Amino acid sequence: MKKVLIVAEKPQAGKDIAKILGVTGEHKGYMESDQYIVTWALGHLISLKHPDEADERFKKWKLEDLPLITDNGLKVNSKTSSQFKVIKELVGREDVCKIINAGDAGREGLLIQSWIYRMAGNKHPVDILWASSLTDEAIKKALNNLHSDREPEFINLLREAEARAEGDLKYGFNYSRMLTLLYAEPGTVLSYGRCQTPLLNLICARDMEYENFKPEPYWTVEAVYSKGFKGSLANPETGQPLHMTDKKEAQAVIQECSGMKCQVLQYINEEKSDKAPALYNLSELQGAMGKRYGFTPDKTLQIAQSLYETHKILSYPRTDSRYLSDDLYHEIGEHLKACDFGKFSPVMADIPLLELKKDKAYFNNNKVSDHHALIPTTNPDMAAIYQKLTEDERNCFDLIIASLAAIFLPPYQYTSTKIITEASGRQFHSSGTIIRNLGYKKVHAILGGTSNKEGGEGKQLQILPELSEGELLSTDNFKLIKGMTKPPARYTPGNIIKLMNKHSIGTSATAAEIVKTLERRGFIILEKNKYLSTSLGREFISVVPEELKSPALTREFEEELKKVNSGELTKEEFLCKIDEGVAGNLKKFSASKVGKKMGAGKKAVKCPICSSPVRSGKTQSGKENWYCTGYKNTPPCPFKIWKTIAGKKITDQQAGDLITKGKTSLIKGFKSSSGKEFSAYLVLNEAGQTEFKFKERKR
């Protein structure tokens, strides 16, 4: 009897599918019944060969070999080769008649599975199973709605995925070798990444802006009206508060206006109504969790993946879309009903389940790519599962439930009032808001109450009286207000993904890993909820040519990829363009005068506690240190050495000796709290902490 081979993304997904199909026979690496064989991948079982794996000539790095224009081929990853062997044997069985690709639904997942089948020598037809979630219902629905991998949509998506992988390899290996050979001292490797390097450049640039920023004072004038409200001196053209760098100029305005009445030039009273925002995609969720709880993009992704895979209460997480497909309209009521429990019930009671409106602002096929927006599933055990979630998982899931409920609640309604007055030719602007109906903002009760920013029903942010244009207003006084200019904000877990989206750096599926890689390499650190570049990261960016670290490079790459998907470009044409661009840049930069070298005299130093690399960095307060890059591990590694100890600057050599030998040579010039100088050795105790050891006196 012929059988269908199903290849899932991970073991748990495979076992979930096997359970639904009644497949119970367990074997090493797969399960089997009379009709089906269910097996699974373990991440990237197959990957592209590196140039030196494809051709022995490239083991030694030489400028004259660049650019490396090779068809590298594929290789089996050694760590998971045993599972690939299982799949290959199953693919080759005579009783297998068809394969169902049940891998991760998206560009990368399609590529992972395609490479497996290619390396396994598959000759069977392949159908694709893409489920919106991992609930039994969603998997059954997907099994009844399979797609052939020969459909144009999947052919083009696979070509795009292959072009992306091969293009990134060309960038990475060619530019890493070029930068290393041109700018690095022997023993130092400069690792380039198409997405990582431009992102690092943006972070370094923002840090430099922040550190070089010098706050300057400014003054503005505020009118305090006898009717109990205030107005700010404004630029009549922009309506923005007028900031004056000369205090005397502001004082002159007060002198001009003192004792004068202000005439009402405009009184604008508008009733406004705002709809709920679009639903979350992964990027928006990562931004919200970063802003609200300080979670890194990777932490939010792991939580979303757990809600999807382990708990089966969230739809597919790695989605780029914030919209729902039209066909979901007929099912969405069931998703809402599944969330009608506990603290969510009062909000759900306000949603007319029998009269749900299909709003184009949320249901739009044209804005749904591979997957729709993040929504709760229809899991019948939702209430019980919710009680078992961790606090972090509940916080994340609360946002998702709130966002879905919000789109079916009434709009947020408020009255917006603006008053413009004039005195001595100067304009003063006032604004106020009275909330009439919270509408969809009632969902904020789910999220732990209503913040001041969001307002409360009937709350008046500034009480503005009813006035008539031309009316004269008495003032109590005109106040001088001093302010200080502020530096540009540093990047945080709450806005780093937004920055990446703005510059087309990565995708929802890859953004978290890009940030994580920069941390892992010691190029950036997360300190007090801010991403800061390290001295290593800045040194690296300083030697990378502008064209290679500009976000324009990755933006153009993504635009060309879209052309591959649409059929406007073939994969071969895309890669040819990459080769030509790389060759041109290599010629240009190889011929240029080599400036500073990076990594002079430096060797990689490993942490004495956890063996992670030790990097040089700076805290947010500006305090320099050597720190362990394993500080993000679980549990975090606490190892660090301050660059200034007891008033004495510690050299790289001394720090290196302390880390590798556990003790420095005798250091002179330390100062006690009383200001007295002393000499001592620095040693590491058993906990990896720095201590003084004094020279023994001769008896």
pLDDT score for 185: 73
Same domain (yes/no): 286, 265: no
Picking from 296, 276, 366, 286, the residue whose alpha carbon sits closest to that of residue 318 is 286
Same domain (yes/no): 495, 586: yes
Q: Name, in order, each residue with C-beta under 8 angstroms of 306's C-beta and a sequence gap of 6 or more.
A: 393
Task: Answer yes or no: is 699 within a domain.
Answer: no
Return the SS3 of 524. Answer: strand
pLDDT score for 119: 97
Task: Answer yes or no: is 333 within a domain.
Answer: yes
pLDDT score for 601: 44
- Choose the final residue of a domain: 460, 484, 508: 484
Q: How far is 491 from 476, CA to CA, in rounded Å? A: 42
Which are the catalytic amino acids?
316
pLDDT score for 630: 82
Domain that holds residue 138: 3-150
What is the number of domains present in the chain?
5
Same domain (yes/no): 272, 416: yes
CATH number (domain holding residue 476): 2.70.20.10
Torsion of CA 411, 414, 417, 418, to 10 degrees: -40
| Number of C-beta neighbours around residue 78 at 10 A | 7
Tokens 């330390």 belong to residue: 670
Task: Answer yes or no: is 348 within a domain.
Answer: yes
- Choose the final residue of a domain: 443, 466, 484: 484
CATH number (domain holding residue 90): 3.40.50.140
291 with 303: CB under 8 angstroms?
no
Task: Answer yes or no: is 600 within a domain.
Answer: no
Task: Answer yes or no: is 698 within a domain.
Answer: no
Same domain (yes/no): 417, 272: yes
Same domain (yes/no): 60, 133: yes
Same domain (yes/no): 358, 496: no
CATH number (domain holding residue 573): 1.10.460.10
pLDDT score for 620: 60
Task: Answer yes or no: is 601 within a domain.
Answer: no
pLDDT score for 507: 87
Same domain (yes/no): 443, 318: no
Same domain (yes/no): 192, 305: no
Same domain (yes/no): 659, 549: no
Span between the terminal Cα atoms of the chain, in Å? 93
**Residues of the chain falling short of pLDDT 50:** 449-460, 600-601
CATH number (domain holding residue 372): 1.10.290.10
For residue 500 the two structure tokens come to 């990446």
Q: Name, in order, each residue with C-beta under 8 angstroms of 337's C-beta and a sequence gap of 6 or more.
A: 348, 353, 378
Q: How far is 338 from 375, CA to CA, in rounded Å? A: 11
Q: How far is 141 from 331, CA to CA, in rounded Å? A: 13
Same domain (yes/no): 268, 315: no
pLDDT score for 661: 86
pLDDT score for 455: 40
Task: Using the CB atoms, write b or e for 43-67: b if 16+ within 10 Å.
Answer: eebbbbebbeebeeebeebeeeebb
Rg (CA), the chain: 31
Task: Answer yes or no: is 71 within a domain.
Answer: yes
Task: Answer yes or no: is 159 within a domain.
Answer: no
pLDDT score for 454: 39
What DSSP designation does 192 have?
-
Picking from 682, 449, 579, 445, the residue whose alpha carbon sits closest to that of residue 166 is 579
Same domain (yes/no): 578, 635: no
Same domain (yes/no): 75, 200: no
Give the helix/strand (H/E) hosting 154: helix 152-183
- Choose the final residue of a domain: 432, 459, 484: 484
- Give pLDDT tens digits for 122-158: 999 999 999 888 899 999 999 999 999 999 999 999 9
